[in-house]
Amino acid sequence: MSYLIKSLVITLSILLSATAFAGNTSYYGSKFHGKRTASGSIFNMNSLTAAHKTLPFGTKVQVTNKKTKQSVIVKITDRGPFIRGRILDLSKAAAGQINCQLCTTTMEILSYGDGRYRRE
């Protein structure tokens, strides 16, 4: 196995074993309410959901506002955020529970979803 492949395998295993991340988080709401998400479900800004670029759909994560220490558990149902430097887009309800319009959060993975597309 070449050095490049070995280093890629090691990097991927480290990334996959990590369960906590920190970064900027925002929310999305009324503009997308009632529209289909990337997972196939209908977005409800009043449910506790979030968008992440790569986590499998159905993954449950605990998001904690670093400033207020408030936490919320959300399910990944969509892809995003599409703004550089952000790790999550929360639904309006989830953002409200941790008092976050644009804030720095930690994200801890509680369980991985199956990643399946659902037309609900």
Mean pLDDT by 10 residues, the chain (120 residues): 58 58 88 94 96 93 96 96 93 96 94 81
Nearest to 86 by CA among 37, 22, 14, 19: 22
Nearest to 22 by CA among 76, 61, 60, 49: 61
Asked whether residue 6 is domain-assigned, the answer is no
The pLDDT score that the predictor gives to residue 11 is 52
Asked whether residue 10 is domain-assigned, the answer is no
Q: CATH number, domain at 65?
A: 2.40.40.10
Asked whether residue 42 is domain-assigned, the answer is yes
**Contact (Cβ atoms closer than 8 angstroms) between residue 76 and residue 35:** no
Asked whether residue 65 is domain-assigned, the answer is yes
Give pLDDT tens digits for 45-71: 999 999 999 999 999 999 999 999 999
Asked whether residue 68 is domain-assigned, the answer is yes
Range of the domain at 56: 19-111
| 117: its two tokens | 């597309």
Look at the pTM and tell me if it is higher than 0.85.
no
Asked whether residue 69 is domain-assigned, the answer is yes
Question: Number of structural domains, the chain?
Answer: 1
Asked whether residue 14 is domain-assigned, the answer is no
